[in-house]
Amino acid sequence: MEAAPRKIIHIDMDAFYAAVEQRDHPEYRYKPIIVGGKPDSRGVVATCSYEARQFGVHSAMPSAHAYRLCPQAIFVKPRFDVYREASETIRSIFARYCERFEPLSLDEAYLDVSDSELYQGSATLLAKHIKQEIRRQTQLVASAGISYNKFLAKIASDLGKPDGLYLITPEQGPAFVENLAIGKFHGIGRATEQKMYDLGIVTGKDLKQLPLAELQRHFGKAGQHYYNIARGIDPRQVNANRARKSVGIETTFDHDIADQTTILRYLQDLLEKALVRLAEKQMTAYTLTVKIKYQNFVQITRGRTLAEPISDSPTTRLLLTDLLKNTGIGTTKVRLLGVTLSGLENGDSRLRQYRQMDLFDLG
Amino acid sequence: MKFIISRDQILPPLQQIVSVIEKRQTMPILSNVLLQASDEQLVMTGTDTEIQIVAKLNIESISHSGEITVPARKFLDICRLLPNGAEIHFELQDDKVKVVSGRSRFSLSTLPAEHYPEFNESDFEHGFLLNAGKFKKALDKTVFCMANQDVRYYLNGLLLNVSNSKLKLVASDGHRLSIYEDDIGQATGYESRIIMPRKAVQELSRLLDDADAELNIQFSSNNIRIFYKDVVFSSKLIDAKFPDFSKVFNQSFMSPLLIQKQVLRDALTRVAILSNEKYKGVTFDISGDLLKLSTHNPEHDEAEEELIIDYQGEPLSISFNSQYMLDAVSNLDSEMAVLTIAGNASSCFIEEPEQPLFKFIVMPMRM
């Protein structure tokens, strides 16, 4: 017997950061609000209100460009503490109605409500109720997509926006995907989209014509996924306690910097912050990666895995210097620096089983 | 520039040169091999700017002398894939090199020889002569302990210490150390310590395939140059002081423990299966004539082996990284292994029972 279809809800907050700002500043309401970098800076748009979107502004666009499109927009500096607080409230709402939910970011989550008996098992009514609860507790608007897997639930939440409640049933699924433009598929980015166009794939229907072997030949590992989603199939589970794989922090400078000592100081600063975040999560890391974006937007990363946990020690500082060797640092100006800690392990490093003695530490 | 050379003559030196050349290059010309033909001699040069190999080949059929650089790996692959005994006709025509052998024809892009980087060397102050086989063995017994990409950059190499007629090679990643000492049979009259970088040590070890050849080793504080048959191998040195490791020798030791090398090796390999993947810890419980090896991992799997040993000392318990122990034990040439643990269980010496030329030291893991 075939298993009953799952019931997945995708909740996506509408223009989250901008909506929080409009909530807290009544004078911003009904106006184009852009949360992110200032127009005279080199920052980008993090989120913008629907009023700003009408001018063609969208997230990840350079703020300077957004300003040209919509000079009357109000530019607001992000207040992540406030957003995080709202996000926590929203997550506590999810937790009340469902055991298995997977936050993707501050403003987005998947909920697996297959086993829920609330509203006689109607996921749509449950989603509607969750939306109402979010609005009641945070005065913020969410869109919900309901379907039988993650892929379609996410597409559904997108289609209803803003304030959406959109259902794609198992009967509708395959036909729905067939009519979808390839650019609307989540997980198909601009590069893949272009590659698909080159292959003559414009809609889900076109994608479905291609045999698995050919998709794998063109897209490698992702081929299987594309084959599946073209048929409305997505076996990915909602992962309630998705293990954190890395902790990263980066910063874009107001002015490009060239001085090696300054760069090193910034990196140490970022590393310290990343280590604090890691400690808050009671984890240790063994891999340190440095990300550098040059003035010309060329981006490189340099990483190293150590036998000992990464800590704020002289050794780690030496490692940073070492990682900057054979980069353009010192000759090319830098616009962005980042530090990522990965190779994570639970628990404090002091609780580890064994510690390797070092010959040159002999007293 | 035009000459004929047999595949079998050009292939071995070309392979040695390409081995040094880095796959990812910052300067395109560094992917090329420099070829200079004149006076019945073909000279081939490859470098990564830290190491340089120059090979001289005597050939009679140079009809036009000259010099040029060609993509090294492509040129090697062409020579390699031609049949044994093939005759290779090499000719520079305008800015292309034509490589012709039988009915195979290749046209290679070139870069002018005058753009090839100069390998700067300072004057060589010191030197000694040594049998290649002897030096190769010394390298093989030490290289595996070199650090790799350690921030203590002076550990990413090999210490070469000449003290009059004594040669000492030392490598350590901090967790273990290998030391090789031998007489070089000549009074050099000086004391000198240099550090060869890791890649140079590995390339040199690969190069020395003829145990009967003689080496002429010359060095200064910045450079080393080794003459080996028709090849000159040069490398820059690590400009740093190797850290002091004498403390590890200047301590009291427990009685030595004697064990069949192969028995220990096999047992270590088996118990290591269930050691922690990351730390690879194995515990040695030593008492009377019994050595118990045990491992466990976070999945709560456990392994235990009991081995007969010859030991007169006090019972003790100590843990090591099993891979470090295996590397050390596997590098002994004798049938028996001697393990000597320092008084406060701070290190373990692994050596051969009789007049050993080399010793390995493995640092323990603490709970």
Convert the pLDDT of each residue in A44-92 to its tens digit: 898 999 999 999 998 888 889 999 999 999 999 988 888 988 998 898 8
Q: What is the mean pLDDT of residues A129-151?
A: 94
| Residue A195: pLDDT over 90 | no
Q: In this structure, which amino acid lies at residue A179? A: N
Instruction: Break chain A down into helix, strand, coil percent, rounded to 5.
Output: 40, 25, 35
Query: What is the pairing mode between strands A33-36 and A74-76?
Result: parallel
Q: What pLDDT, on the 0 to 100 scale, is given for residue B367? A: 65
Distance CA A142, CA A44 (A): 24
Render A186-208 in DSSP notation, one character per residue: TT--HHHHHHHHHTT--BHHHHH
Mutation target to probe the B interface, by most B beta carbons within 10 A, among A290, A357, A361 is A357
Query: What's the confidence (pLDDT) of residue A350?
Result: 40
* CB nearest A358 (choices: B175, B279, B281): B175
Distance CA B364, CA B51 (A): 35
CB atoms within 10 A of CB A319: 20
With a cut of 50, say whether residue A362 has pLDDT above it: no
Mean pLDDT lowest among A321-325, B157-161, B335-339 = A321-325
Burial of B364 (0-12, 13-18, 19+ CB in 10 A): buried
Indicate whether B287 pLDDT > 80. Answer: yes
Say what the ipTM of the complex is.
0.83
The predicted structure's pLDDT at residue B25: 72
Please name the residues between 156 and 215 in chain B that touch chain A, using a CB distance below 8 Å.
172, 174-177
CB of B194 closer than 8 Å to CB of B127: no
> What's the pLDDT at A246?
83
Structure confidence at residue B344 (pLDDT): 81
Rounded to two decimals, what is the model's pTM? 0.61
Residue of B nearest to A356 (CA): B365
Instruction: Assess whether pLDDT exceeds 90 at residue A159.
Output: no
**B366: closest CA of chain A, how far (Å):** 5
Between CA B283 and CA A349 the distance in angstroms is 21
Could you tell me if B204 and B160 are in contact, meaning their C-beta atoms sit under 8 angstroms apart? Answer: no
**Residue A243: predicted pLDDT:** 61
The ranges of chain B annotated as CATH 3.10.150.10 are 2-115, 126-246, 251-362
Q: Over chain B, what is the mean pLDDT?
A: 94
Predicted local confidence at residue A60, as pLDDT: 82
The reported pLDDT for the residue numbered B332 is 96
Instruction: Give the mean model confidence (pLDDT) for residues B3-16.
Output: 95
List A320's β-bridge partners, or say none. none
User: Is domain B126-246 annotated with CATH 3.90.1170.10?
Assistant: no
Residue found by looking up tokens 């071995």 in the block: B12
Please give the pLDDT value at position A10.
96
* Residue B88, strand partner residues: B5
* pLDDT surpasses 80 at A189: no
Lowest mean pLDDT across A56-70, A137-151, A155-169, A281-295: A281-295
Asked whether residue A363 carries a pLDDT value surpassing 70, the answer given is no
Chain A, chain B: beta-carbon pairs less than 8 Å apart: 58
Mean residue pLDDT of chain A comes to: 87
Encoding tokens for residue A218?
A: 């063109």
CATH homologous superfamily of B251-362: DNA Polymerase III, subunit A, domain 2 (3.10.150.10)
* 8 Å CB contact of A322 and B153: yes
Question: Is residue A344 pLDDT above 50, yes or no?
Answer: yes
Q: Beta strands of B72-183 (E only): which ranges?
A: 87-93, 96-101, 104-109, 126-131, 157-163, 166-172, 176-183
* Residue that is written with structure tokens 């530090």 in the block: A339
CB B347 within 8 A of CB B361: yes
* Cα–Cα dist B120/B18, whole Å: 20
Alpha-carbon distance of A6 to A146, in angstroms, equals 10
Name which residue leads in pLDDT, A353 or B293.
B293
Q: Which residues pair with A34 in a beta bridge?
A: A48, A75
A222-244: pLDDT as tens digits: 889 899 999 999 988 888 766 66
HEC letters along A76-142: ECCCHHHHHHHHHHHHHHHHHHCCEEEEEECCEEEEECCCCCHHHHCHHHHHHHHHHHHHHHHCCCE
Span B91-107, mean pLDDT? 96
Whether the CB-CB separation of A256 and A335 falls below 8 Å is answered with yes
Q: How far is CA B279 from CA B132, B297, B323, B366, in A?
A: 37, 9, 9, 11
CA of B346, closest CA in chain A: separation in Å? 8
Give the lowest-confidence range in A221-235, A292-306, B75-89, B104-118. A292-306
Q: Is the pLDDT of residue B365 over 60?
A: yes
Chain B CB contacts of A322 under 8 Å are 149, 151, 153
* The pLDDT of residue B23: 81
Task: Give the closest of A319, A322, A357 to B346, CB-based.
Answer: A357
What is the radius of gyration, based on Cα positions, of chain B? 25
Secondary structure (3-state) at B63: strand
- Compute the average pLDDT of residues B231-244: 95
Residue-level length of chain A: 363
Look at residue B160 in the predicted model and tell me its pLDDT.
Answer: 97
Least confident range of A276-290, B156-170, B187-201? A276-290
Contact list in B for residue A351 (CB cut-off 8 A) is none
Which of A99, A108, A117, A133 is flagged as catalytic?
Answer: A108
* Mean pLDDT of the B267-283 span: 90
Q: Average pLDDT, stretch A315-322? A: 82
- The one-letter amino acid code at A253 reads F
Per-residue model confidence (pLDDT) at position A311: 80
To which H or E segment does residue A67 belong?
Answer: helix A63-69
Percent of chain B with pLDDT over 70: 100
Residue B171 C-alpha, separation from nearest chain A C-alpha, in angstroms: 12
Radius of gyration, CA atoms only, chain A = 23
**Confidence bin at A316 (pLDDT 50/70/90):** confident
Distance between CA atoms of residues A221 and B194, nearest Å: 49
Taking only the tens place, the pLDDT of each residue in B194-212 is: 999 999 999 999 999 999 9
> What is the pLDDT, as a whole number, of residue A349?
44
Tokens at B246, concatenated: 């004498």
Residue type, A83: Y
For A196-210, A293-307, B160-174, which range has the lowest pLDDT when averaged over its residues? Answer: A293-307
CB B145 within 8 A of CB B321: no
Q: Which residues of A are annotated as a binding site for Mg(2+)?
A: 12, 107
Least-confidence region, from A327-331, B347-351, B357-361: A327-331
Q: Tell me the average pLDDT across B82-107.
A: 96
**Which of chain B's residues have a Cβ under 8 Å away from the Cβ of A304?**
149
Q: What DSSP designation does A252 have?
A: E
Question: Which residue ranges of A make up the annotated binding site?
Answer: 12, 107
pLDDT tens-digit series, residues B295-344: 988 778 899 999 999 999 889 999 999 999 999 999 999 999 999 999 88
In Å, what is the CA distance from A21 to each residue of A18, A59, B242? Answer: 5, 16, 59
The mean pLDDT value for B91-105 works out to: 96
H-state helical runs in chain B:
7-20, 72-81, 132-140, 198-207, 261-272, 322-330
Q: Per DSSP, what are the bridge partners of residue A45?
A: A36
A108 annotated active-site: yes
| Structure-model confidence comparison of residues B268 and A96, the more confident one | B268
> What is the C-alpha separation between B245 and B242, in angstroms, rounded?
9
What does CATH list as the number for B2-115? 3.10.150.10
Residue A253: which residues within 8 A CB-CB, separation 6 or more? A42, A334, A335, A336, A337
Q: Which residues contact A274 (CB under 8 A, 6 or more apart)?
A: A247, A248, A249, A339, A340, A341
pLDDT at B284 over 70: yes
pLDDT at B238: 95
Q: How confident is the model at residue A347 (pLDDT cuts 50, 70, 90)?
A: low
